Amino acid sequence: MVAAGIDFRLHPGERHALIGPNGAGKTTFVNLVTGRLAPSAGRVLLGGEDVTRRAPVERVKRGLARTFQINTQFMGLSVLENVRLAIFEREGLAWRMFRPAESYRAVTGEALAALEDLRLGPLAHRRVDELAYGESRMVEVALALASRPSVLLLDEPAAGVPAEGSQAILDQLARLPAHIAVMIIEHDMDLVFRFAQRVTVLDQGRVVATGTPAEVQSDAHVRAIYFGERAHG
């Protein structure tokens, strides 16, 4: 049993962090929410609608977007192309067969603006597999944002990024549109405490504590779990 008895609520515009030791089931939780995994019991509700039986693609259309813990992008394509693909899908233009993709100026314009917003503008025409790791982590976020989600799930956006890079990422996360509900999985406690309004702690597939960062930090149970983990972060 990887996850059990999780009753989790994410409110509009909320900034929520999901933390827990390795193997606690955080990514599994994200996969359940996005539909890559099917729950053996329970429901997933998106904006009040029961989407438990809906395929991941349909949940994306209903405003749910995610990033991946490991960089999952279109490596051989440019950053601009990556984002453009997401916009084409969103706008239902991906079936068009007779005009070059570049000629859709509105799409290209929006993609460039989105990249500018995330300080990725200068990298627009570089291939994704040529970027520094921290830069491509931001492309992950750009891809997810291009779907104009109302709910955004970020799976360890700063994972593996050196300190200056993760600061830049944190700055961008702070500037995310206010109406999007954002749930972030993180190990970096600094980031968690600066970013989150509420925190949920998972351990061995169960919710151990939930509340404001201060409440969670002083929770005895949580401290017990993390006592041995502190050295590893």
Partner 1 sequence: MSHRLRVMDVAPWAAAVLALFVFPRHLQLGTQILVMVLFVLSIDLLLGYAGIISLGHAAFFGLGAYCAGILSVRGIGDPLVGLAAAGALSGLAGLLCGLVVLRTRGLTLLMLTLGILLMLEEAANRAAWLTGGADGLQGMQVAPLLGLYEWDMFGRTAYLYSLAVAFIGFVFVRTLVHSPFGRSLAGIRENAVRMEAIGAPVRRRLVAAYGLAAMLAGIAGAVNAQAFQFVALNVLSFELSGAALIMLILGGAGRLYGAFIGAPLYMIASDTFAKLDPTYWLFWLGMLLIGIVMFRNRRAR
Binding site for partner 1 (CB under 8 A): 34, 56-57, 60-61, 65-66, 68, 72-77, 81, 84-86, 88-90, 93-102, 104, 143-144, 146-147
CA–CA distance from 25 to each of 1, 11, 32, 51, 207 (Å)? 10, 21, 10, 21, 10
**Distance in Å, CB of 66 to partner 1, minimum:** 6
Under a CB-based contact definition with an 8 Å cutoff, are residues 32 and 43 in contact? no
**Distance in Å, CB of 97 to partner 1, minimum:** 5
Which of 84, 198 has the CB closer to partner 1?
84
Which of 107, 181 has the CB closer to partner 1?
107
Which of 99, 230 has the CB closer to partner 1?
99
**Distance in Å, CB of 164 to partner 1, minimum:** 27
**Distance in Å, CB of 135 to partner 1, minimum:** 17
Which of 65, 199 has the CB closer to partner 1?
65
**Distance in Å, CB of 225 to partner 1, minimum:** 30
- Phi and psi dihedrals of 83, rounded to 5? -65, -35
**Distance in Å, CB of 69 to partner 1, minimum:** 12
In terms of Cα–Cα distance, which of 89, 94, 104, 100 is closest to 143? 89
Helix (H, G, I), strand (E, B) or coil at 206: strand
CA–CA distance from 71 to each of 14, 104, 119, 143, 159 (Å)? 25, 27, 18, 11, 10
Which of 16, 59 has the CB closer to partner 1?
59
The conformation of residue 157, written as its DSSP 8-state character, comes to: T
Which of 61, 187 has the CB closer to partner 1?
61
How would you class 222 by CB atoms within 10 Å of its CB: exposed for 0-12, middle for 13-18, buried for 19 or more?
Answer: buried
Gap between the terminal Cα atoms of the chain = 25
